[in-house]
Amino acid sequence: MTVTGSGTCSDKIEVIQGDITALDVDAIVNAANTRLLGGGGVDGAIHRAAGPELLEECRGIGGCPTGEARITRGYRLPARWVIHTVGPVWSGGKRREPELLASCYRSVFQIASEKGIKTLAFPAISTGAYRFPPDHAASIAVQETCAALERYPEIEKVLFVCFDSRCLDAYKKALAG
Ligand code: AR6
């Protein structure tokens, strides 16, 4: 299923349901942890699909703080690049979780712009193992993406990739404003 947004920023946004590792875009975003050495969820799926060279490159990076991002090649993935970002673990919302999640999106877009990336796909960062409420996370994702698309008009397409229908509903609501 595909939901296309309407309005100025959302002309470039699409919400789809599926596996992010299958997408033929310039870059896919990984919801990683601070060690950057793989894990479960989307992180595990990306490492499995990219192959062991990805872990090798990640080892050389030496980790990433929460709210920041790092880029690697995509190796066996259809995507040329993987931008790894570390979302906050939700613990009630009083530990700057919303700010840290917003910072993930900003960091990813900054790197994307530096690398000339024109199409990129995000998973719902922090909404799995890290338990960030999906509606709140989707509204931060849409807000930061709209701001970034104004700032970096050369970015052509942003896909939000959902695994389940709860995630899809959250993005539909967030895009409806
Ligand atoms: N494609 C798209 N979305 C996916 C895929 C996939 N192949 N697999 C899972 N999702 P999570 P987090 C969705 O837990 O909450 C890892 O162990 C999933 O349904 O992957 O940021 C890392 O190493 C959910 O909506 O990431 C970290 O330790 C979303 O991706 C920790 O989990 C994010 O769920 C990060 O937790």
Break the chain into its structural domains and give their ranges.
Answer: 2-176
- Average of per-residue pLDDT across 20-32: 98
Tens-place pLDDT, residues 96-143: 999 999 999 999 999 999 999 999 999 999 999 999 999 999 999 999
Q: Which atom of ligand 1 approaches the CA of 19 most closely? A: 1
Confidence of residue 10 (pLDDT cuts 50, 70, 90): confident
More confident call, 90 vs 4: 90
Q: How far is the CA of 130 from the centre of ligand 1 (A)?
A: 8
**Alpha-carbon gap, residue 171 to 22, rounded angstroms:** 20
What pTM was estimated for this model as a whole? 0.96
Out of 3.40.220.10, 3.30.1360.170, 3.40.50.720, 1.10.287.1080, select the CATH number for domain 2-176. Answer: 3.40.220.10
**Alpha-carbon gap, residue 118 to 133, rounded angstroms:** 29
Task: Say whether pLDDT at 52 is over 80.
Answer: yes
- Mutating to test ligand 1, I would choose from 34, 35, 42 the residue with most ligand atoms within 8 A of its C-beta, which is 42
- Mutating to test ligand 1, I would choose from 125, 132, 163 the residue with most ligand atoms within 8 A of its C-beta, which is 163
- Is 43 catalytic? The answer is yes
Q: How far is the CA of 82 from the centre of ligand 1 (A)?
A: 14
Secondary structure in 3-state letters for 114-125: HCCCCEEEECCC
* Residue that is written with structure tokens 């990739």 in the block: 161
The one catalytic residue among 19, 24, 26, 43:
43
How high is the pLDDT of residue 175? 93
Task: Say whether pLDDT at 4 is over 80.
Answer: no
How high is the pLDDT of residue 9? 78
Tens-place pLDDT, residues 56-82: 999 999 999 999 999 999 999 999 999
- Beta carbons within 8 Å of 157's beta carbon, 6+ residues apart: 12, 14, 25, 118, 119, 120
Q: What are phi and psi of 65, to 5 degrees?
A: -70, 155
Q: How far is the CA of 155 from the centre of ligand 1 (A)?
A: 24
Q: Of the candidates 122, 108, 109, 120, which has an alpha carbon nearest to the alpha carbon of residue 152?
A: 109
Q: Of the candidates 140, 108, 118, 126, which has an alpha carbon nearest to the alpha carbon of residue 29?
A: 108
Mean pLDDT of the chain: 95
Query: Who lines ligand 1 at CB under 6 A?
Result: 19-21, 31-33, 39-43, 45, 87, 123-130, 161, 163-164, 167
How high is the pLDDT of residue 8? 62
**Alpha-carbon gap, residue 174 to 41, rounded angstroms:** 23
3 in Cβ contact with 175 (< 8 Å)? yes
What sign does the CA torsion over 65, 28, 143, 132 have? negative
How high is the pLDDT of residue 40? 98
Give the end-to-end CA distance of the chain in Å, rounded to a whole number.
20
How high is the pLDDT of residue 16? 96
